[in-house]
Structure 1
Amino acid sequence: MIYNVKHRQIYLIFLFALAFISCKRDNRPDVSNINLDIQIDRFDKALYVAKAKNVGEVDQMLAKKYGVFYDDYIHRMIGSPEYNNDEVLNTLYKDQAYTDLTKEVDSIFPDLNAQEQGLTETFKYIKYYYPEAKIPKFVSFVSGFAYQMPVGDNYLGIGLDMFLGKDSKFYKAIVQSVPLYLSRRFTPEYIVPRVAETYAHEELFPEPDENRTLLSKMIFQGKILYFLDQVLPENITDSTKIGYSKEQLEWAQRFEADIWAYFLENNFLYETDYQKIQVFLSEGPFTPGLGENRDSAPKLGTWTGWQIVRKYMDENPKITLQQLMAENDAQKILSQSKYKPKQK
């Protein structure tokens, strides 16, 4: 009898879990009828396999296939305008560091199937909400840690050498120029959310020039993160969306009320001095002024803005995603969110 009771409890829990998952999925629109298949063009492979060929022929072949991206790659990412294409290619192919790095990239990314699947799902949702959105050409490359995600004329580049995994030997060697708090996020699972974030910022929602106050910038960044909530695959965690470690996310959640009180007590919300407010929005190992022994999460202004926007949408269920993203009145969003986090 005891076994049956336990079995029944497990069965009920299982049914509840299924109902919860189904309900969560039902909140998303059906995008199965949107015909889209994202492919990432492996420029990194095309460039490397041509290493043994005549550089003049390689230059013509790559210029024809990759156009503007190739020109940007040669003259902006790895070279400069004063050198011709052949000179840049010759120098690159003779560089052992380039060979070593490309081989490492190829070992981590023999294919990009998982990333293409994630981007296909993401951009189906983007096309659902914004049918007129133009999807760029996605091109992967290696630049020696110079660029992670450049945006150019009809292309979005993905610097695979910036996603090798947080324990990569290469990141330990460049720690002076790329600190560990940044390179810990250079992992494959960050590719899809960073592409979506970059596309949102650069193509869909450029920040209004009138965003001067901390509050307006918090809400703007919060809207971008809420947009990611709606378009990214559901298995992507909040910590990955904002770039937090598990511990940093837990810290922000635990001290949410204290963070908000700190902003209010110091009259930071309507501050316009960039030097004073950028510490709450910028990347870093922690947020200065908050926490003890530098244990706070970074960019807590961005994180708080995200929570305000989520609360606003919870309080106003008739507001659509498009209406939210078009609303530039940060004070209105704050007021109608009724945001008052409680001590935990």
Structure 2
Amino acid sequence: MNYNVKHLQIYLFFICIITIFSCKQDKRPDISNIKLAIKVQRFDQDLYNGKNKNLLQTDFLLNNKYGNFYNDFIHKMVGTPELKGTEVLSILYKDQAYTDLNKEVDSVYPNLTKVEKDLSESFKYIKHYYPNTKVPKFISYLSGFAYQVILADDYMGIGLDMFLGANSKFYPAIVQNVPMYASRRFTPDYIVPRINEVFAREELFLERDEDQNLLSKMIYNGKILYFLDQVLPENTADSVKIGYTSKQLEWCKNYEGNIWGLFLQNDLLYQSDLQKIQVFITDGPFTLGIGNKKESAPKLGFYVGWQIVKKYMSENPEITLQQLMAETDAQKILTKSKYKPKESQ
């Protein structure tokens, strides 16, 4: 008898777990009818394969295949406007550093199958919410750590040399230009979130010039992060979306009420003096003057804005994602969110 009761309890437990999991899954819209299979063109491989071949022919073939991207690469990314394509190619092919970097990129990314799968999924969600969105073509390259993600008129570029992994041997050498707190994010996990963030900020939801006070900037960035919640693969970590370490994210969760209290006590929400608010909206290894032993997270305004937007959406379930992203009244979002986090003691 006890045996049957025990197994019934286990059975009911798993039924509950399955039900909860199913409900969570059902929150996402069905995108199975959206036909989209993104492929990333490997300019980095095509470029390197031209080494030891006729420069004129390589220049012609790359220009013919990649068009505007190749022109940008030659004249803006690695070269200068006055140099010809063959001249830039000659410089690159003779540079041992380029060869070494290319081999490293190729070893980390022999293929981009997972990137293509996750990009296809995320852009299906974008197409679901915004059907008229034009999905760009995607091109991978390496630019000597100059450009990570580029959004142009007809393509998005992915600088694979800036996603080699936090422990890449190359990153300590560029620390003067790219600090270690930034290069620790140069991992494969960041490719798709970074692409979606750039696309959201630069294509779908441009920040308005009139949004100058801290609250407006908090809500804008909170909406961007909430948008990423809706379109990125569900297994994407929150820490990756906002660019925190797991410890920084946990710190923010623990001291969310204290951060909010700091904003209120210092009358910062409606402050538009950049010198007074930039510490809360700019990136860095931590937030200067807050927390012990440099444990605080950077971009605290982004994090709090994210929580306000999430609370707003949970308090107002009739609001759609499109309505949220179109809403320009930051005060309205704050008021209707009923956001009142408790301070940590």
Letter in 1 for 2:272: T
Q: Deviations over 1:310-329 (max 9, x none)?
A: 00000100000000000000
Question: How far is 1:167 from its partner?
Answer: 0.6
Question: How far is 1:10 from its partner?
Answer: 4.2
Comparing 17-26 and 2-11, the one that deviates more: 2-11
- Residue 92 in structure 1 maps to residue 99 in structure 2: no
Q: How does 1:1-344 map to 2 (within 5 A)?
A: 7-344=7-344
In structure 2, C-alpha distance between the alignment counterparts of 1:148 and 1:7, rounded to whole Å: 54
Letter in 2 for 1:77: M
Q: Deviations over 1:122-152 (max 9, x none)?
A: 0001000000011111100001100000111
Mark the runs of 5 or more structure 1 residues left unpaired by the alignment.
none
- Conserved 8 A contact 1:75-1:81: yes
- Alpha-carbon distance change, 116 to 263 in structure 1, aligned in 2, over 3 angstroms: same
Letter in 2 for 1:307: Q
* SS class of match (1:191): helix
Q: Deviations over 1:45-69 (max 9, x none)?
A: 1100111211111111111111111
* SS class of match (1:138): strand
TM-score, normalising length from structure 2?
A: 0.97
- Conserved 8 A contact 1:138-1:157: yes
- Conserved 8 A contact 1:126-1:133: yes
In structure 2, C-alpha distance between the alignment counterparts of 1:120 and 1:171, rounded to whole Å: 29
Comparing 277-286 and 10-19, the one that deviates more: 10-19
Question: How far is 1:247 from its partner?
Answer: 0.4
Letter in 2 for 1:56: L
Q: Deviations over 1:252-277 (max 9, x none)?
A: 00000000000111111111111221
Q: Deviations over 1:70-112 (max 9, x none)?
A: 1111111111112221111100010001000011000000100
Comparing 266-275 and 324-333, the one that deviates more: 266-275
Mark the runs of 5 or more structure 2 residues left unpaired by the alignment.
none
In structure 2, C-alpha distance between the alignment counterparts of 1:224 and 1:52, rounded to whole Å: 45
- Conserved 8 A contact 2:261-2:343: no
* SS class of match (1:153): coil
TM-score, normalising length from structure 1?
A: 0.97
The 4+ residue runs of structure 1 with deviation greater than 2 A are: 1-17
- Alpha-carbon distance change, 93 to 7 in structure 1, aligned in 2, over 3 angstroms: farther
In structure 2, C-alpha distance between the alignment counterparts of 1:284 and 1:3, rounded to whole Å: 57
Letter in 1 for 2:297: A
Letter in 1 for 2:339: Y
In structure 2, C-alpha distance between the alignment counterparts of 1:241 and 1:136, rounded to whole Å: 21
**Identity across the alignment (%):** 63
- Conserved 8 A contact 2:163-2:186: yes
In structure 1, C-alpha distance between the alignment counterparts of 2:9 and 2:109, rounded to whole Å: 44
- Alpha-carbon distance change, 274 to 15 in structure 1, aligned in 2, over 3 angstroms: same
* SS class of match (2:185): coil
In structure 1, C-alpha distance between the alignment counterparts of 2:165 and 2:142, rounded to whole Å: 15
Letter in 2 for 1:267: D
Letter in 1 for 2:315: E
- Conserved 8 A contact 1:259-1:290: no
In structure 2, C-alpha distance between the alignment counterparts of 1:168 and 1:135, rounded to whole Å: 31
In structure 1, C-alpha distance between the alignment counterparts of 2:7 and 2:115, rounded to whole Å: 39
* SS class of match (1:140): strand
Aligned residues: 344
- Alpha-carbon distance change, 22 to 80 in structure 1, aligned in 2, over 3 angstroms: same
* Cα RMSD after superposing both structures: 1.3
Question: How far is 1:12 from its partner?
Answer: 3.5
